[in-house]
Structure 1
Amino acid sequence: MQELLVDFEDLDELYRCYMAFLRQGGVFVKTNLRFEMGTAVAVRVTLPDALEEDVASGKVVWITPQGAQNANPPGVGIAFGDGQEVLNDKIVKLLGTQLNSDKPTYTM
């Protein structure tokens, strides 16, 4: 299983990468690596101000290719799999009311 690393330095970047529209949540990971839809991956996530990383498994559900017309960075969206509620809950708690924002994200 491929492993991706993502380090969110601030809440704004976490907001832009969080995929709240997914039932169990997920994150967009900036990468130039190529993936196919449905590919199983592990994600090592360091949240803002966290001392330790969280590891989650999931699958690729979104692909933004290099040179996309919307000027978003290339990368993949990873939907968290079953049993990843702890990481998703941490993200939701950190973002709080920001989740109601209409600011653009890297996915929707």
Structure 2
Amino acid sequence: MQELLADFEDLDELYRCYMAFLREGGLFVKSNMRFELGTTVSSRVTLPDALEEDVIQGKVVWVSPQGAQNANPPGVGVAFGENSQPFNDKIIKLLGTSLNSDKPTYTM
């Protein structure tokens, strides 16, 4: 299983990477590695102001390749797995009302 690392230093970057449109939630993780849709990955994620990282498993559901025509960085969107609800809840709590923002994200 491939592993991704994501270290979010601020809430603005977490907002740009959070994939709220997925039923179980998900994160866009910047990476130059190549992934196929449906690939199961393990992600080590450090949220803003967290003392420890969380390890989350999920599936690749979005791919932004190197050199894409938009201004977004290369990376993959990972949909959280079934056992990730507590982690998804942490993100929702951190982002709070900013989830209703119309600011651009790295995905949709």
Q: TM-score when scaled to structure 1?
A: 0.99
Aligned residue for 1:98?
98
Cα-to-partner distance string for 1:25-57 (whole Å, 9 max, x where unaligned): 000000000000000000010000000011110
What is the identity percentage for the equivalent residue pairs of Structure 1 and Structure 2? Answer: 80
Runs (4+) of structure 1 moved beyond 4 Å? none
**Partner SS for 1:83:** helix
The DSSP-based 3-state class of the residue aligned with 1:85 is: helix
Task: State the distance in 1 between where 2:90 and 2:68 align.
Answer: 30
| Counterpart-to-counterpart distance in 2, 1:97 and 1:68 | 31
Q: CA RMSD in A?
A: 0.4
- The alignment partner of 2:83 has SS state of coil
State the Cα deviation string for residues 4-37 of structure 1 (Å, max 9, x = none).
Answer: 1100000000000000000000000000000000
Distance 1:68 1:102 in 2: 22
The DSSP-based 3-state class of the residue aligned with 2:19 is coil
Determine the structure 2 residue equivalent to 1:45. 45
Q: Determine the C-alpha separation between the residues in 2 that align with 1:69 and 1:21.
A: 23
**Aligned residues between the structures:** 108
Hey, what's the Cα distance between the residues in 2 that align with 1:51 and 1:77?
A: 24
Which sections of structure 1, spanning at least 5 residues, go unmatched? none
The match for 1:76 is: 76
**What is the match of residue 57 of structure 2?**
57
1:86 deviates by 1.0
Equivalent in the alignment of 2:29: 29
User: 1: distance between equivalents of 2:65 and 2:3?
Assistant: 19
**Gap runs ≥5 in structure 2:** none
Shift of 1:95: 0.1
CA distance in 1, matches of 2:66, 2:28: 14
